[in-house]
Chain A
Amino acid sequence: MSAQDPLEARKARLSTLARAPADRLLALWRAHAPEPPAHRLLRAPEIGTVMVRGRAGATGAPFNLGEMTVTRCSVRLASGAVGHGHVQGRDKAAALAAALIDALAEDGQGEAVEAAILAPLRAEDAARKAARAARAAATKVEFFTMVRGE
């Protein structure tokens, strides 16, 4: 991940934080930073929605499918580094943690938060997905063609 360009790395980081289960995100964050870094709230944690869109026939005209809950937060560290957090669901503490993690990574601590928080979250996400994919694979149909009497 560290070999990526900074923009892609930030995108990947924020996406990982957004999808993480709130309790896991908070547990890893509190273990990494028992005392949260000094910061100012640029945008206090705020619960809202995002309208999720689909496409007619999967490829055609966009349409509104329905909303999902999202919580967002923005912070500035004493150094001036700014972090933006977005998390799925309604957990304000998780949104604040995501913003602080983003800010620390922007403040040169990218490798530390990668090792302590992002890598474990990604691994757990991959394990969850793999567990479902393996169960799905076990339900794949193997067809037998019946031989007709000719």
Chain B
Amino acid sequence: MYVAVKGGERAIDNAHAWLAEERRGDPSVAELSLPQIREQLALAVNRVMAEGSLYDPDLAALAIKQARGDLIEAVFLIRAYRTTLPRFGASHPVDTGAMACDRRISATFKDLPGGQILGPTFDYTHRLLDFALAAEGLDPPAAPQAEASAAPVPHVTGFLAAEDLIQPEPEGPATPRDLTREPLDFPADRPLRLQALTRGDEGFVLSMAYSTQRGYGRNHPFVGELRIGTVAVEMDIPELGFAIEIGEVMLTECETVNQFTGSKTEPPQFTRGYGLVFGQTERKAISMALVDRALRWEELGEDNVGAPAQDAEFVLYHADNVQATGFLEHIKLPHYVDFQSELELVRRLRAEAMGAAQREAAE
């Protein structure tokens, strides 16, 4: 319990003024512009959009600047801003099969229609610091180009589904539950879990996924496919009576192909985990797919081995970094009265204990 206290306005104002000065840093160094953040710290912008649950690169860049690069603080700013906006409606589910892919790889099939497209990846870099970047003004050479194929880039899981080798995805309600409109409630169906995971903290979702790989609810994932690119977002416009594209978003999608032993009634089939995240957010999308798969133990008739990643309440209640930060950091706010009562109690207990010891010594 904390009790409202008055006072400190001047200290708070001065602290905020100093914060603004510290945010700016050394004034002899050029100030960062939002386009610079948006263009050159794009992966930070993507993370803030994904966890802030709002696709708007300019706003995310502003939040990162205001938060001095503290990405969880930036996510908090985006979440707060989002609540001030009216919602016009919901889009049709995006068609990731029609994605304009910057990257598309499969760890399960070497030769597949559409090919393996590496895209702008950190993979295969040597993770050696590049001191050339410290010297500004060196523009990189233009990236090579090749003739693009107009052929479709079908989902890998589609090939497996055509042979019945992978479990089909069941349909669900056309209007999924929305944890931004109603409190998170259990049991959480898969659409609700996917919403919580896609906006969940990247570090938390990564660690949960890693725990399944290390044996806490192992589910033998293969990355059937990982794709990054842009998709069109379509929405029905009531005053028009038809759907239009209202924009396009960059997404990262990961489909895992996981083992499944089959049952007495069903022949063996692979199962799926799914990750879909705003922006180029590969680590998060793969993590999301692994955790999604772990949380599906019940519907797939698997044993609950008591692994943390199988526990929907544990995962979903702890995935949100704004919620977690809020509760964690509230303990630094004044708890003077709370603490005063504890202090008095400890003093009394000590006095009693010491009094008893003195009496024993005297006897």
Q: Do B100 and A52 have beta carbons less than 8 Å apart?
A: no
Q: Do B93 and A55 have beta carbons less than 8 Å apart?
A: yes
Q: Do A84 and B249 have beta carbons less than 8 Å apart?
A: no
Min CB gap A13→B, angstroms = 9
Chain A residues within 8 Å of B284, by CB: none
Chain A residues within 8 Å of B118, by CB: 139-141
What CA separation (Å) do A18 and B339 show in the bound complex? 56
Query: Which of the residues B58, B111, B244 comes within 8 Å of A86, measured between beta carbons?
Result: B244
**Residues 4 to 38 of chain A near chain B (Cβ within 8 Å):** 7, 10-11, 14-15, 18-19
**CB of A50 closer than 8 Å to a CB of B:** yes
Q: Do A67 and B237 have beta carbons less than 8 Å apart?
A: no
**CB of A77 closer than 8 Å to a CB of B:** no
Q: Give the interface centre of A46, A48, A70, A131 by most chain B CB atoms within 10 Å.
A: A70
Q: Do B50 and A62 have beta carbons less than 8 Å apart?
A: no
Given A69-B54, A137-B148, A140-B117, do A60 and B100 touch, yes or no (CB 8 Å)?
no
Q: Give the interface centre of A49, A55, A136, A139 by most chain B CB atoms within 10 Å.
A: A136
Min CB gap B145→A, angstroms = 4
**CB of A134 closer than 8 Å to a CB of B:** yes
Query: Which of the residues A47, A50, A65, A134 comes within 8 Å of B198, measured between beta carbons?
Result: A65
Q: Do A139 and B117 have beta carbons less than 8 Å apart?
A: yes
**Residues 141 to 185 of chain B near chain A (Cβ within 8 Å):** 143-149, 155, 157, 168-176, 178-180
DSSP class of B's interface residues: helix, strand, loop or mixed?
Answer: mixed
Q: Do B85 and A48 have beta carbons less than 8 Å apart?
A: yes
Min CB gap B120→A, angstroms = 8
Q: Do B145 and A138 have beta carbons less than 8 Å apart?
A: yes
List 25 contacting pairs A-B, 8 Å CB cutoff, sorted by A: A7-B242, A48-B86, A49-B85, A52-B91, A53-B176, A54-B93, A57-B274, A58-B97, A58-B276, A60-B171, A61-B176, A62-B175, A62-B176, A64-B90, A64-B178, A64-B179, A65-B198, A66-B49, A69-B85, A70-B247, A132-B100, A136-B101, A137-B146, A137-B147, A138-B146
Which positions in A face B, CB cutoff 8 Å? 7, 10-11, 14-15, 18-19, 46-70, 72, 74, 84, 86-90, 129-141, 143
Which positions in B face A, CB cutoff 8 Å? 49-50, 53-56, 58-59, 82, 85-94, 96-97, 100-103, 110-111, 115-120, 143-149, 155, 157, 168-176, 178-180, 189-192, 194-195, 198-199, 232-233, 235, 237, 239-240, 242-249, 251, 253, 255, 272, 274, 276, 278
